[in-house]
Amino acid sequence: MTAEGRTRTVPAVIAVAVTVAAFVALLLWWPPTLYRWVLAVHVLAFISWMAGMLYLPRLFVYHCEAEAGSKQSETFKVMERRLLRQIINPAMVVTWAAGIWMAWNASLIHAGWFQVKLVCVLLLSGVHGMLSAHVRAFAEDRNQRPQRYFRIINEVPTLLMIAIVILAIVKPF
């Protein structure tokens, strides 16, 4: 990692550290409304995670148009890397951490709706991993996928998000 990359990663690391410290402080303090606070953090982190997951494939669509090595291509590489490292990755970690705590605290593991939601979140995490691989491929100028592929992939997080939100709010079974 370059000095510039380390400098730009520091704010993301600080944000995650502050979030973890606040989370630990809340756990130690354990107010009666702790579950609601963790739920709020979980929802905010999920919104941030989804914002990045919906934007990254759109960047890939535009990056496909840029000639490898061009100034435009290099700009997209920076945008994709920053989006992934500074927003998407930390948001996913916080979403998972808060979600695991809530599932444990509320004993949700046996609820049918929760089990289906968990499968959807695991699939979303898999899509996250796949998008991370695409960021690496673009960074190394070895993308082989057309724009159409990324336009279609862009819909997968949307469908998973719809399922996750419906399951969490409606709890149909």
Does the structure show a pLDDT above 80 at 32?
no
- Give the integer Cα–Cα distance in Å for 140 and 20: 33
Closest CA to 138 of 78, 51, 88: 78
Does the structure show a pLDDT above 90 at 115?
yes
Average pLDDT, the chain: 92
Confidence of residue 2 (pLDDT cuts 50, 70, 90): low
- Give the integer Cα–Cα distance in Å for 84 and 135: 8
Distance from the first to the final alpha carbon of the chain: 47
Q: pLDDT at position 117, please?
A: 98
| Residues 54-96 pLDDT 10s | 999 999 999 999 999 999 999 999 999 999 999 999 999 999 9
Three-state secondary structure along 1-42?
Answer: CCHHHHHHHHHHHHHHHHHHHHHHHHHHHCCCCHHHHHHHHH
47-56, 100-109, 151-160: least confident range = 100-109
- CB-based contact 9:85 (threshold 8 Å): yes
Interior CA angle at 119 toward 114 and 122, to 5°? 120
Domain range list for the chain: 3-170
Confidence of residue 6 (pLDDT cuts 50, 70, 90): low
